[in-house]
Structure 1
Amino acid sequence: MELNDTVSPTRRPRGRTVLIIAAAALLGISGGTAVGYGIQAERPPTPLRALAQPGLGYPAKALPADKAPAPLPASEDRQVRTDGDLRKLLVERPEGAKASPDHPRKGGEWQPLSDYSREFRNERSMFLFLAENDVRRIAVTAWTQGQQRQSDVTLVQFRANTRMGAADHFDGQLSYMPEAEGGAGNSGDPIAGTGRGRYFLYAVQRDPGYLPFHRARALAVRGDIMIDINITDAKPISKKDIRVLAERQLERL
């Protein structure tokens, strides 16, 4: 996983002549702006046009209590569900699976922002991105199956007043997945009912002296939560394995 930085090239200095010309231009613009504001201040105010619709589009008084719509039950109000203990919304560990050494607590645990950012190649950029976009909290669960398979499920939640936090994080991760360097090298498959959520199978990595390394990943968004699921194994991982795990987690949300 990687979040790429875009670094603008540094401009070289152009000498004193350019500075003098720039200063003169700035003085001319500032002087013209000041004169324009002075002229505008002396003019009488222009009256506003009458409203095209004199009546309001909503009632002047609140509806009676017996006619007001009932609030959504907690089971249907997504914000009520996600404002509680986020760890309880993590998918449950499959029967027979063992706790992961990295995240041994059954039912999930909180993950510090610094630990989550450390999982990315550009740790500093990821930390700054999430902090600037008002990340609220991160919950994670993980387990092992068989000899080598490990599954990790992470929920990254952003504050409610952040307009695009989860969506931006999702877009940043999804953007490089088709790339062979750092990504899966393919466009993945859609996760039904998620809009743009997708799951991916990576090409197997084979290094001398090591077992084969297979990996699958799923990414999706539910409101203010970005879902990031990873499976690794020495044996091949089927599309069904990663798809079903993603669907189970989405059902919890």
Structure 2
Amino acid sequence: MEVPEEEESAAPRRRRRGRRTALLLTGAGVLGLVAGTCAGYLVQAEREPTPLPPLSQPELKRAAGEAPEPLPVSRDRQVRTEGDLRKLVLRKPAGAQKAGWLTEPVEWLDMADYANMYDDPSRAYANMAPDFRRAVTTGWETDTYTVEINLVQHRQDETLAAKKAVENHQYWATFDGSDPESDFSENKDVKSWTIPGTEEGMAYVDTVPDTEPGYEPLYRASAHAWRGDINMEIWIYGSEPIARKTILDIAERQMERL
């Protein structure tokens, strides 16, 4: 599994072996294309010119029948996603407390706020600048874990930016990084499952906690999926192992709102 270099902003990275080879192969393909194009021009120069068709064309008539009815709001995704993005975010369950970092139940994130969530904010900011449109965040706390949900909406004029963002997160969710000689070292302490109702959405649970001197062990789970121009990120941190059902249930209910 390899993520394009411009998308790898979720964590510090090293240059991967094999990329130079790919560039050389691309260059050889370009040279072959140029040579073929030159040969084509020489053949065409020996041929008689082909008469052009007249500029005027017959007017095309509209097909018989009535125009189709527009989709109702309940079925038109674009109507929902072009409105207040905060209304699409899953609300905290009964008994949970609003996350301590929030001042409102759901908050807007500008590009700088969102980039600061990455290990390398300046690099993340530069990478997301062409496609970032807007984002919202929410979260809640229970006795054993904390939940954070981000919805990020992208401009998709040239690329499927939401899909690429999800693939980037999914890459790092299973990346070990402990083997400097490996292009991709899979973390064996991470379990993953497909999110119901999605084609490529995945949920991940770390079976071994993160440990740092002076801090309690911290377990993590995450979920990443996309629909249309919106990618969903869910992060759960807790002092106890996080159940598969917990992350999948939250992810599935959030995706249903999109």
Q: What range describes the TM-score normalised by the shorter chain of this pair?
A: 0.7 to 0.9
Which of residues 126, 137, 141 is equivalent to 1:140?
137
Matched residue of 2:129: which SS? Answer: helix
1:36-55 maps to which residues of 2 (within 5 A)? Answer: 45-47=49-51
Per-residue deviation, 1:240 = 0.7
Change (3 A) 1:97 1:69: same
Match status 1:100 vs 2:104:
no
User: Which residue number in structure 1 is paired with residue 150 of structure 2?
Assistant: 154
Change (3 A) 1:190 1:7: closer
Could you list the runs of 5+ residues in structure 1 that have no partner in the other structure?
Answer: 9-32, 50-55
Residue equivalent to 2:195:
191
> Residues of 2 paired with 1:87 and 1:93: CA distance?
13
8 Å Cα contact 1:3/1:173 also seen in 2? no
Instruction: Tell me the residue number matched to 1:62.
Output: 62
Higher Cα Rg, which structure: 1
**Which whole-Å deviations, capped at 9, do the CAs of 1:49-69 have from their partners, x for residues lacking one?**
9xxxxxx9xx933346x6221
* Cross-structure match for 1:20: none
Q: Give how far 1:97 is off.
A: 1.4
How many residue pairs match? The answer is 216
Percent of residue pairs bearing the same amino acid type: 36
Q: Distance in 1 between matches of 2:249 and 2:136?
A: 20
1:127 and 2:131 matched:
no
Name the residue aligned to 1:233. Answer: 238
SS of equivalent residue, structure 2 residue 234 = strand
Residue 177 of structure 2 is aligned to residue 171 of structure 1: no
* Native 8 Å contact 1:4 1:122 kept in 2: no
Alignment RMSD: 3.2
SS at match of 2:159: coil
Matching residue of 1:18 = none
Contact preservation (8 Å) 2:191, 2:205? no
Change (3 A) 1:209 1:220: same
Change (3 A) 1:184 1:69: farther
Inter-partner Cα distance in structure 1 for 2:68 and 2:14: 48
> If the length of structure 2 is used for normalisation, what is the TM-score?
0.73
State whether structure 2 residue 78 is matched by structure 1 residue 74.
no
Contact 1:104 1:142 in 2 (8 A): no
SS of equivalent residue, structure 1 residue 188: strand
The 1-side partners of 2:99 and 2:255 are apart by 22
1:29 aligns with none
Report Cα offsets for 1:110-148 as digits up to 9, x if no partner.
01111111111122221111112x2110111111112x5
One-letter amino acid of the counterpart of residue 127, structure 1: Y
- 1:3 touches 1:120 (CA, 8 Å); kept in 2? no
Q: Which residue of 2 aligns with 1:25?
A: none
Q: Aligned equivalents of 2:164 and 2:51: distance in 1?
A: 43
Structure 2 unaligned segments of length 5 or more: list them.
1-9, 18-37, 179-185
- CA apart distance, 1:222: 0.6
Of 109, 112, 123, the match for 2:110: 112
